[in-house]
Amino acid sequence: MQILCYNICMIILDGKSLAQEIKNEVKEKVSSLTKKPTLSCLMIEGNSASEIYVRNKQRACEECGLLSKLIRLNQSTSQNELEEAIQKENKDEDVSAILLQLPLPNGLDEESAIGKIDPRKDADGLTNENMGKLFFKGVSNFAPCTPSGIIKLLDKYDVQIEGKTAVVVGRSKLVGQSIAHLLLQRNATVVLCHSKTENLKEITRMADILVVAIGKAKFIDADFVKSGAVVVDVGMNRVDGKLCGDVDFESVKEKCSMITPVPGGVGPLTVACLMENTYKLAKNNPNF
């Protein structure tokens, strides 16, 4: 009977429409700047998913009245060449924000490359300086795009975070660790899981809020989920040409109270928050 009730009341967290609201706000704020901000994306060619994501980001820039620039680097690009290309964007006064499209191909060091981005132009907030600020409550209102979007979505649907048990599966800097810190800052009790976690199912079943970012298609089924939990699926996997998340939506939707779809959940919010971060960086840059 209780499950039936959850089933009837289950809410799909609509990331797409919130993303549109965020982009509309950015567009309005950008019009008050004296010079149009430019987001420069650096991408190593050869990854079809990255091509799609970068195109979406460029489209969103256009929608928000931002300029975008794409630096395509071929697959044989060396670490030095990549880092020189980043330094060039650092020096370009017309560029207000820089994004290095991840993942990089094997052989290139992501951490070293990200470390070369000027923190004042770091659109995804991934440099050590910006990550450090994120980890100190109150020091920064600037966070990586995906975690920012998740918090905005939970707030939009009045999900109570304070005092709740939040389990995050996946510990990348880009997603898992950052969202864990944002949830902690909002006074959730946070457990951060990874590939070495024992008894994962027992831990995820404690979650009032379950965030999954592991990159394994439909890995989390209803067995991992507590009845009535709020489930945020960050995963973007392609199976037989179709996009799906890390959560088995069909199985979990029967048990949770709220869930993000894939596509249409976290993905569009990531892009919208990138637009917001690009605006914020330009606002703090005297050239704009």
Enumerate binding residues for ligand NAP (CB under 6 A).
Answer: 146, 169-172, 174-176, 193-197, 200, 213-216, 234-237, 266-267, 270
Catalytic residue (choose from 124, 208, 246, 248): 124
The C-alpha atoms of residue 249 and residue 111 are separated, in whole angstroms, by: 33
230 touches 203 (CB < 8 A): no
Residues 6+ apart with CB under 8 A from 106: none
Catalytic residue at 101? yes
Q: Which is nearer to ligand NAP, 125 or 267 (CB)?
A: 267
Whole-number minimum distance, CB 135 to ligand NAP, in Å?
Answer: 17
Choose the catalytic residue: 23, 57, 218, 226.
Answer: 57
| Residue 87: active-site member | no
Q: Which is nearer to ligand NAP, 169 or 288 (CB)?
A: 169
For this structure, is 160 an active site residue?
no
The least CB distance from residue 137 to ligand NAP, in Å, is 23
Task: In angstroms, give the least distance from the CB of 177 to ligand NAP.
Answer: 8
Strands (E), 111-255: 165-169, 189-193, 209-212, 230-233, 237-239, 242-244
Q: What is the three-class DSSP state of 220?
A: strand
The answer to whether residues 95 and 281 touch, using CB atoms and an 8 Å cutoff, is no
- Amino acid found at 263: P
Query: Residue 150's closest CA among 230, 54, 49?
Result: 230
Q: Specify the DSSP class assigned to residue 104.
A: P
Q: Which is nearer to ligand NAP, 28 or 111 (CB)?
A: 111
Residue 195 CB, nearest approach to ligand NAP (Å) = 3
Q: Which is nearer to ligand NAP, 156 or 283 (CB)?
A: 156
Residues acting as catalytic residues: 57, 101, 124
